Structure 1
Amino acid sequence: MTTGPRRANQGGGVQSVERTFELLELMADAGGEVTLSELAERSGLPLPTIHRIIRTLVNSGYARQQPSRRYALGPRLIRLGETASRALGSWARPYLAELTEVTGESANMAVLDGEQIVYVAQVPSPHSMRMFTEVGRRVDAHATAVGKAVMATMPSDEVTQLLSRTAMNPQTERTITDVEAMQEELGRIREQGYAIDDGEQEVGVRCYAVAVPGAPAGAGISISGPEGRMTRIATDEVIPLMQRLAKDLSAELSATA
């Protein structure tokens, strides 16, 4: 079914540029690889227009044509993404530092990339026993608090499409591996305003996360630590702090856009 262009030309923007980024985002939404007809169906743009834009992207290395005649995101996007991630991490670090100072636990920021969460910043806990997540690490979204917090901001049909592109493999015996069960979990997250990873990614580790509202890409901040310490955290005090920091970070990102 044709959905039509997702955004109109506003504020005097260059239409061809807007269309180019729309097609790149649609490719990413589809898991990074699509046909021209799929792009036409999802964007509502004419096939000749799509073909012209895609050929330009292929020639410049931002897309590539597969032997199957499907088109995939190109390697030149990697450098752009890495640079953007570093910038995003630098903006987030002061907010994460405040979160670590108050809670004593490691604070992280991550963004949704396809079906995975990518960590872009961390401020580690001062405890000798702490959670350390390497910046740049990728993990399946369904097994993380940040992933669930971000998915809870998305329409249910988009979540279903996202989860259908992954096997929802269990990381521990607590990992949610069923789409319907995940939709129920996301409903609870929407009601309470935060997500929990209770040993779903790693045994003995608990994580709390909130989404960064209105972030250019689905993003969230979290705190994580050993289950024994995390159960003593007063969520009625910490969650409002996390929500405030996420809102402040969102405002800074919007101001720099």
Structure 2
Amino acid sequence: MTTGPRRSQPSGGVQSVERTFDLLELMADAGGEVALSELADRSGLPLPTIHRIMRTLVSAGYARQQPSRRYALGPRLIRLGETASKALGSWARPYLAELTEATGETSNMAVLDGEQIVYVAQVPSRHQMRMFTEVGRRVDAHATAVGKAMMANLPADSVAQLLTRAGMRPETERTITTVEGMQQELGRIREQGYAVDDGEQEVGVRCYAVAVPGAPAGAAISISGPEGRMTRITTDDVIPLMQRLAKELAAEITTA
């Protein structure tokens, strides 16, 4: 299905650069590997233009051509992604620290990378019993509050493709394991403005998350802790705080 160019009007930038990033984003949305015809279909750009851009990306190491003639994201993007994740983590820590100070629980920031989420920052709780997720850890999106918060901002067809590619392994008996079930869950998240992991990733652990609006590649912040303590935190108090911090973080990211 043709979706047309991702930017509907000139932004004042260099058109070829904008087109290059559009194609890279389309490749990422498609799981990292596409055919030229798919890029043409989704971007609305002429095949010769796409072919010229892809040749340049391949020669620079930001894309590679498979034996099947399909194009995949290249290894040089890894360094860019790692550096960007570190920068996001640095920007996020003061906001996470405020969240941990207010709630007493561990706060995290994660970004969506392909079919998985990656934790890029954390401020731990001062409680002796606390949640700890190593920065840099990758987990499937469907069993986490941060993953669900980010997926709630994606179109339904993109969510279905992401979940189909990744699979929906049951981490606990509470994990949502069907696309239909997840689509219903995401509808609830859009209505209430936050996501919950109620023992879906790890038994006895509860997590609340909100998306960082407008963050590149998708991002979310969360608090997590033992279910017994987390149930004493009222969403009426903590969710407005998390939404405010997410908006302030988004403003810093977009102006940096």
TM-score range, shorter chain: over 0.9
**Contact in 2 for aligned 1:119/1:138 (Cα 8 Å):** yes
1:8, distance to aligned residue in structure 2 (A):
3.7
Q: What's the CA shift string for 1:42-93, capped at 9, x where partnerless?
A: 1111111111111111111101111222111010000000001101111110
Q: Name the CA distance, whole Å, in 2 between partners of 1:11 and 1:41.
A: 22
Aligned length: 256
What secondary structure, in the 3-state scheme, does the structure 1 residue paired with 2:223 have?
strand
Q: What's the CA shift string for 1:100-119, capped at 9, x where partnerless?
A: 00111110000111111111
Q: Name the CA distance, whole Å, in 2 between partners of 1:171 and 1:154.
A: 23
Q: Name the CA distance, whole Å, in 2 between partners of 1:10 and 1:69.
A: 31
Q: Name the CA distance, whole Å, in 2 between partners of 1:215 and 1:100.
A: 21
Q: Name the CA distance, whole Å, in 2 between partners of 1:74 and 1:202.
A: 34
Moved over 4 A (4+): none
TM-score norm. by structure 1 comes to: 0.97
Look up the equivalent residue of 2:184 and give its one-letter code. Answer: E
Does residue 114 of structure 1 match 2:109?
no
Q: Name the CA distance, whole Å, in 1 between partners of 2:68 and 2:155.
A: 31
Matches within 5 A, 1:83-94: 83-94=83-94
Look up the equivalent residue of 1:194 and give its one-letter code. Answer: Y
**Contact in 2 for aligned 1:9/1:15 (Cα 8 Å):** no
Percent of aligned pairs sharing the same letter: 84
Q: Name the CA distance, whole Å, in 1 between partners of 2:227 and 2:11.
A: 49
What secondary structure, in the 3-state scheme, does the structure 1 residue paired with 2:108 have?
strand
Counterpart in the other structure of 2:229: 229
Counterpart in the other structure of 2:74: 74
Counterpart in the other structure of 1:54: 54
**Contact in 1 for aligned 2:36/2:47 (Cα 8 Å):** yes
Look up the equivalent residue of 2:22 and give its one-letter code. Answer: E
Counterpart in the other structure of 1:194: 194
1:252, distance to aligned residue in structure 2 (A):
1.3
1:206, distance to aligned residue in structure 2 (A):
0.7
> What is the root-mean-square deviation in Å for CA atoms of aligned residues?
1.0
Structure 2: give runs of 5+ residues left out of the alignment.
none
Structure 1: give runs of 5+ residues left out of the alignment.
none
Counterpart in the other structure of 1:97: 97
1:28, distance to aligned residue in structure 2 (A):
0.5
